[in-house]
Amino acid sequence: MELMDKAIEAKKNSYSPYSHFKVGAALLTKDGKIFTGCNIESVSHTPTCCAERTAFFKAISEGYKEFEAIAVSGDTEYCYPCGVCRQVMSEFCDKDFKIYVGDKEYTLDELLPYSFDLEK
């Protein structure tokens, strides 16, 4: 699968000298463009950015705000997006946004049900 291949490729740029856990992500926009990202760590931990958020923030800062799917590849077989990344996804994506992890496929609604909303 092309999107997962790009996530695996992006993992090579991971800057993870503290956890030694490499992650790559590839985010597909609704008009077919792919933005990749890797995790970028910090010695003081809190500034660490996950691969998924790197990909999202790259895309958003380039003017893209409509997304179809993301593929995530970590050093484990199934590297699921963390809660913070799921929350970022819910800011920009519909409930049917697709998340590929290993050989599995989910929707955002499956991985983040009952998400916070100011109007509910």
Catalytic residues: 52
- Provide the β-strand partners of residue 106: 99
Report in angstroms the alpha-carbon separations of 94 from 14, 107, 108: 28, 9, 8
Q: Could you give the CA distance from residue 112 to residue 89 in angstroms, rounded to a whole number?
A: 9
Please tell me whether residue 48 binds ligand THU under the rule CB under 6 A: yes
Please tell me whether residue 69 binds ligand THU under the rule CB under 6 A: no
Closest approach, Cβ 19 to ligand THU, in A, equals: 4
Please state whether beta strands 98-101 and 104-107 pair in parallel, antiparallel, or not at all (unpaired).
antiparallel
Residue 92: which residues within 8 A CB-CB, separation 6 or more? 56, 60, 65, 66, 67
The 11-40 site mask, x for binding ligand THU (CB under 6 A), equals -----x--x-x-x---------------x-
- Which stretch, 43-51, 63-71, 88-96, 110-118, contacts ligand THU (CB under 6 A)? 43-51
Chain residues binding ligand THU by CB under 6 A are 16, 19, 21, 23, 39, 41, 48, 50-52, 72, 79, 81-82, 85
